[in-house]
């Protein structure tokens, strides 16, 4: 019985802090317009970029960031994996390339942008070796 309760508590806490990353521009901008939230657009190399992997592990996956982001931002990821097993469909690859052409012409990884629902850039940053709360503050300051 104790194990069952522990399992239910674990699953519930995982679901509570699960965040949803959009992968399509139109869906992200539509949700942003409906909710009046800004978009956090992340350019990442999830299987080759060390700072991208650290940013994911230390910030994006942190319960503190997930809880805040869930009610304040629309998260959009443009990932550029290199390993064959991690490649996306041709359609998704093309969409990510189109986003990079517009927002990441210099090819910086990771690149994090705050955009309004119309796609206007409000601020940019990258990997920072800071806590989740400090990173949230950094992103919030860009919105001002």
Ordered by start, the domain boundaries in the chain are 20-143
Cα–Cα distance, 97 to 77 (Å, whole number):
12
Q: Is 57 exposed, middle or buried (0-12, 13-18, 19+ CB in 10 A)?
A: exposed
Cα–Cα distance, 49 to 66 (Å, whole number):
22
Give per-residue pLDDT as tens, 77-110. 999 999 999 999 999 999 999 999 999 999 999 9
Q: Which CATH architecture has domain 20-143?
A: 3-Layer(aba) Sandwich (3.40)
pTM exceeding the 0.85 threshold for the entire prediction: yes
Task: Go through 47-56 and write b for each residue having 16 or more CB atoms within 10 A of its CB, e for each that does not.
Answer: eebeebbebb
* Ranges in the chain, pLDDT < 50: 2-17
């Amino acid at each position: 019985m104790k194990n069952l309760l522990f399992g239910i508590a674990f699953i519930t806490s995982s679901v509570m802090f699960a965040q949803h990353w959009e992968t399509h521009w139109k869906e992200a901008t539509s949700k942003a317009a409906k909710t009046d939230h800004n978009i956090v657009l992340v350019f990442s190399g999830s299987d080759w970029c060390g700072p991208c992997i650290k940013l994911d592990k230390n910030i994006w996956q942190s319960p503190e960031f997930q809880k805040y982001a869930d009610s304040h931002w629309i998260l959009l990821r443009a990932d550029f994996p290199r390993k064959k097993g991690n490649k996306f469909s041709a359609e998704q690859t093309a969409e990510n390339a189109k986003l990079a052409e517009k927002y990441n012409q210099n090819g910086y990884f990771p690149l994090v942008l705050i955009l309004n629902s119309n796609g206007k850039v409000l601020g940019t940053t990258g990997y920072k070796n800071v806590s989740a709360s400090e990173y949230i503050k950094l992103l919030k300051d860009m919105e001002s």
